[in-house]
């Protein structure tokens, strides 16, 4: 008997999500009448046909080990209907079709150490990049920063007592994965890269590294008779763009790699225009494993926003209403000359680059 033909693998795109959806969701797709928020971490959706589905959200880390994943799935099989999904902020959501299943599911999750919340006007799970575990150019461990901060913000995740949703992001480096959010904690390099001239010729494709610099601060050089590179430190903006294609240009440094906190970023245009985030604190110590200095500043900003923001104001709306001077006064953050955007090197340096011509 011949073997059935194997289906060829699909190498691009996501699988069809409908096959993983709860049957009740498939039956009512596009026909939802309204939704309610019975309690933190729980959403109730009601369809035009009167059918109801409850969603229970729990906080989980972005990088899950297989044992935790199996535990979450076992809870879903035992207490829910076996249907789950992960949100873009790495939270797990269980879909169930009966109200009497909600409380046992929440109890099972919390008994296993997971926090139910993250809905409505809460501080959502911090989105982050790979950190020391996976990234090849990290200046810090974004995963660790998230763990330390969410330990401090657990009540803000569990409850919904903010004026509006708060999205927080963090990143490991300054060029690839920095997030746009209500609050962003990003790496800030404060010194130009240190070059190991013995390795450059063997490791780096020098023309690519020269072209990579956004301010044309890198040029070829001959050092001790070997082809290498040199950095014009007067032009260098310490972004670290040269480090990924050329690891001998080491920019990460325990002393000089700091944190900067930005606020006011918003993609949504529901109540106002999308906005760019702006720097409010810089030079914050990159201090693992708990990063207390950065966490304290984020908590201070959230506390003032919670007390002073009006209903449904995002952080950018709140700052626009009270003004930047009042923001610095209320939060107690120092305003320095480094907060003023007065850099004028772009026209000359970008004119000199290999990419842009005016």
pLDDT at position 357 is: 45
Give the separation between CA 86 and CA 127, rounded to whole angstroms.
Answer: 13
Buried b (16+ CB within 10 A) or exposed e, 216-235: bbbeeeeeeeeebbebeeeb
Buried b (16+ CB within 10 A) or exposed e, 79-114: bbbebbeeeebbbbbbbbbeeebbeebbebbeeeeb
| Tens of pLDDT, residues 270-300 | 777 888 889 999 999 999 999 999 999 999 9
**Who's near 163: CB < 8 A, 6+ residues apart?**
121, 305, 306, 309, 310, 311, 312, 313, 314, 318
- Shared domain check, 154 and 54: no
pTM: 0.88
Give the separation between CA 265 and CA 280, rounded to whole angstroms.
Answer: 12
pLDDT at position 178 is: 63
Residue 183 belongs to a domain: yes
CB 153 within 8 A of CB 201: no
pLDDT at position 179 is: 67
Token pair recorded at residue 13: 């795109």
Residue 316 belongs to a domain: yes
Give the separation between CA 115 and CA 41, rounded to whole angstroms.
Answer: 9
Enclosing H/E stretch for 17: none
| Tens of pLDDT, residues 133-158 | 778 788 888 889 999 999 999 999 99
The CA–CA distances, whole Å, from 288 to 141, 145, 300 equal 8, 8, 20
Residue 75's SS3 state is helix
Total structural domains in the chain? 3
- Shared domain check, 27 and 92: yes
pLDDT at position 268 is: 78
- Shared domain check, 162 and 46: no
pLDDT at position 181 is: 87
Residue 353 belongs to a domain: no
pLDDT at position 7 is: 76
pLDDT at position 128 is: 85
pLDDT at position 349 is: 53
Q: What CATH code is carried by the domain that includes residue 46?
A: 3.30.70.3340
CB 163 within 8 A of CB 311: yes
- Shared domain check, 99 and 53: yes
Domain that includes residue 153, residue range = 123-190+254-342
Residue 70's SS3 state is helix
Task: Show the low-confidence residues of the chain (pLDDT under 70).
Answer: 1-2, 10-11, 178-179, 343-358
Q: What CATH code is carried by the domain that includes residue 235?
A: 3.30.70.20
Token pair recorded at residue 328: 């610095």
């Amino acid at each position: 008997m011949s073997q059935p033909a194997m289906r060829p693998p699909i190498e691009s795109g996501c699988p069809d999500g409908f096959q993983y959806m709860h049957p009740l969701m498939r039956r009512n797709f596009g026909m939802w009448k309204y939704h309610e928020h019975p309690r933190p971490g729980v959403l109730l959706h009601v369809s035009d046909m009167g059918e109801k589905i409850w969603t229970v959200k729990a906080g989980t880390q972005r990088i899950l080990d297989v044992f935790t994943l199996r535990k979450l799935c076992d809870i879903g099989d035992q207490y829910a209907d076996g249907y789950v999904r992960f949100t873009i902020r790495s939270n797990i959501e269980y879909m169930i079709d009966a109200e009497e299943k909600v409380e046992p599911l929440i109890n099972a999750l919390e008994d296993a150490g997971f926090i139910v919340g993250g809905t409505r006007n809460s501080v959502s799970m911090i989105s982050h990049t790979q950190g020391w575990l996976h990234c090849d150019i990290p200046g810090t461990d974004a995963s660790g920063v998230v763990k330390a901060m969410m330990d401090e913000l657990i009540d803000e995740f569990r409850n919904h007592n903010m004026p509006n949703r708060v999205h927080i992001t963090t990143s490991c480096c300054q060029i690839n994965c920095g997030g746009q959010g209500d609050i962003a904690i990003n790496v800030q390099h404060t010194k130009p890269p240190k070059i190991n001239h013995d390795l450059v010729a063997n490791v780096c494709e020098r023309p690519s590294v020269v072209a990579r610099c956004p301010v044309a601060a890198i040029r070829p050089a001959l050092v001790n008779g070997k082809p290498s590179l040199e950095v014009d430190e007067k032009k260098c903006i310490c972004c670290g763009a040269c480090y990924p294609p050329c690891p001998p240009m080491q920019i990460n440094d325990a002393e000089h790699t700091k944190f900067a906190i930005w606020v006011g970023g918003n993609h949504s245009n529901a109540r106002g225009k999308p906005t760019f985030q702006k720097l409010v604190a810089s030079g914050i110590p990159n201090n693992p494993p708990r990063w207390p200095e950065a966490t304290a500043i984020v908590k201070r900003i959230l506390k003032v926003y919670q007390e002073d923001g009006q209903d449904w104001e995002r952080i950018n709306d709140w700052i626009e209403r009270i003004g930047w001077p009042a923001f610095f006064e209320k939060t107690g953050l120092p305003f320095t000359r480094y907060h003023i955007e007065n850099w004028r090197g772009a026209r000359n340096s970008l004119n000199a680059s290999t990419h842009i011509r005016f």
